[in-house]
Each structure stands twice: as C-alpha cells, then as structure tokens.
C-alpha cells in the first residue's frame, strides 16, 4: 500500500514577488489516514495542497507520493494517485455537460464506450449526482457543483483524496451530505478547512500551519484542547467544544475520541 503514502521533507515555496509561503514544512501521511491542515488565512494551506500533485513546484525540498519522488517525469503517475478538488468548483468544471466533465479524466486514461459510461455513472452516483449528468455545470447550485467536482476526481479512482476548503459556501444539508461522502472514502484523505467541527468529526490527526511553518502535528482533539496554541495561531475551538453563550456552561466535545 506504499502508493497511499504522502511524504513531504523540507518543503519551501517562494512566490515570484518574494513572498515565502512555505518554509521547511515536513510531515508523513500513511495509508487510510484522514488528516486536516488548518491555520489562519495566509498560513500556507492552499499553497501546500497545490504541491501534492504538481500544480505548484517547490523552491526547495522533496515530495514523495508512494514510491515516486514528485518530478516532471513522475507527474502523470502522481496525478493518477492524488485526486485534487479545488476550493472553487468552477476551476474544475469547464465542459458543456456534467457527464463530459466527469468523463474527461477517464477518457484521457483511454476509457471509452460502455466502460467510460459505467465509470462516469458510478462516480456521479457515489456523490448523489446521477440525475445531473445531462445538465450544464453553470446551471448547478453551489452544493451540486461541489459534488460534481468531487465526482470528476473519483472517476479517476485516486488512492489519495485532497480537498481545499470542501464545505466552503455549502448550506447545512449539502455540508452534511459532503461529510457523509468523505467518511465513506476509505483511502487517504487530506484537506484544509475553516470548518473545525467537520475536522473534529472526520480527522483523528491535524496539522497546524502558522506563517508557512508546521506549528503542531498531532491528535485532533489534543490540538483543539490547547487554547494557547489556538490563540497564537489565530484559531478557535470548534463550536461543539465551546461553552454556551447564554448559560455560560461548557459543552465538551460532541465527537469524543
């Protein structure tokens, strides 16, 4: 199962304007882990995710996906292994119909005919979007776009699912559907989110970024109980762990580990 492993060593990224977005970031994520990467705006979360399948290239350091060190030569294999869902679904949906968008990746892998149709149908059904196949992406709601964007990645059968702010802009019902979908994905999951209640529910491990560096890496519940760490990193406890603003009583965690 080595192809499920993500290893980052000494990752550094400097943008052309001289801004250092990541500085000596290192961690290792193994098969089946569900890991959240959290931090305040500008901490480097999205920049980090974009390195995991070669959308950005490091200024220094190394990234390994399974047996492959990320390079120009290994990029096709890495992108088959790591499925990336962008923060804005419109960055991922560009074809005339939902079916065409979900079919785009498998077609480039050589699928066609009945095999392609079966692959697309399975991916759409997995996210509860089979009824959207003939629709134009620009006619979809925000939640529908998010589900279809995830289907475009699932159709490639990735071993590692990477998502940038997956609940951003979703209503409560769509958010709950997405959480259920992510819980059902049994391989490795890595995502950034300001939705810390979702992090608490789905992730046993959390990495905290501050100023482009790893400030903490450990059990999610331990990190959320560290009030000093959260305050220094401009974060707050999940709502489910905060006290009642009316009676002043603490609620504890809704998701005990």
Q: Are 149 and 84 in contact (CB under 8 A)?
A: no
Residue 81 to residue 84: CA distance in whole angstroms:
10
Residue 136: what pLDDT? 96
Q: Are 58 and 26 in contact (CB under 8 A)?
A: no
Q: Are 94 and 145 in contact (CB under 8 A)?
A: no
What does the pLDDT look like over 77-111, one tens digit per residue? 898 899 999 989 999 999 999 999 999 999 988 89
pTM summary value: 0.88
The CATH number given to whatever domain includes residue 28 is 3.40.50.300
Residue 254: what pLDDT? 47
Residue 147 lies in a domain: no
Residue 76 lies in a domain: yes
What does the pLDDT look like over 44-72, one tens digit per residue? 999 999 999 899 999 999 999 988 899 99
3-state DSSP assignment of residue 192: strand
3-state DSSP assignment of residue 181: helix
Domain hosting residue 203, numbered range: 2-87+159-241
Domain total in the chain: 1
Residue 121 lies in a domain: no
Q: Which two tokens stand for residue 238?
A: 């999940």
3-state DSSP assignment of residue 61: strand
Intervals of the chain under pLDDT 70: 1-3, 244-257
Residue 256: what pLDDT? 45
List 28's β-bridge partners, or say none: 7
Residue 109 lies in a domain: no
């Amino acid at each position: 199962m080595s192809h499920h492993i993500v290893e980052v060593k000494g990752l550094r990224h400097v943008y052309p304007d001289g801004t250092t977005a990541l500085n000596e970031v290192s961690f290792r994520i193994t098969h089946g882990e569900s890991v959240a990467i959290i931090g305040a705006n500008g901490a480097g979360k999205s920049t980090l995710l974009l390195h995991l399948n070669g959308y950005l290239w490091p200024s220094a350091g190394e990234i390994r996906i399974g047996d492959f060190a990320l390079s120009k030569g290994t990029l096709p294999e890495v992108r088959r292994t790591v499925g990336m869902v962008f923060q804005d679904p419109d960055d991922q949906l560009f074809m005339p119909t939902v079916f065409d968008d979900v079919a785009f990746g498998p077609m480039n892998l050589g699928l066609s005919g009945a095999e392609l149709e079966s692959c697309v149908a399975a991916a759409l059904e997995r996210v509860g979007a089979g009824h959207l196949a003939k629709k134009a992406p620009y006619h979809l709601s925000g939640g529908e776009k998010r589900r279809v964007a995830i289907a475009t990645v699932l159709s490639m059968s990735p071993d590692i699912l990477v998502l940038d702010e997956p609940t951003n802009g979703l209503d409560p019902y769509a958010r709950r559907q997405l959480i259920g979908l992510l819980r059902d994905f049994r391989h490795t999951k890595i995502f950034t989110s300001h939705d810390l209640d979702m992090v608490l529910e789905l992730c046993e491990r959390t990495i905290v970024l501050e100023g482009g560096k790893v400030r903490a890496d450990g059990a999610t519940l331990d990190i959320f109980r560290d009030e000093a760490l959260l305050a220094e990193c401009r974060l707050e406890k999940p709502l489910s762990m905060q006290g009642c603003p009316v009676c002043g009583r603490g609620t504890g965690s809704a998701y005990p580990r």
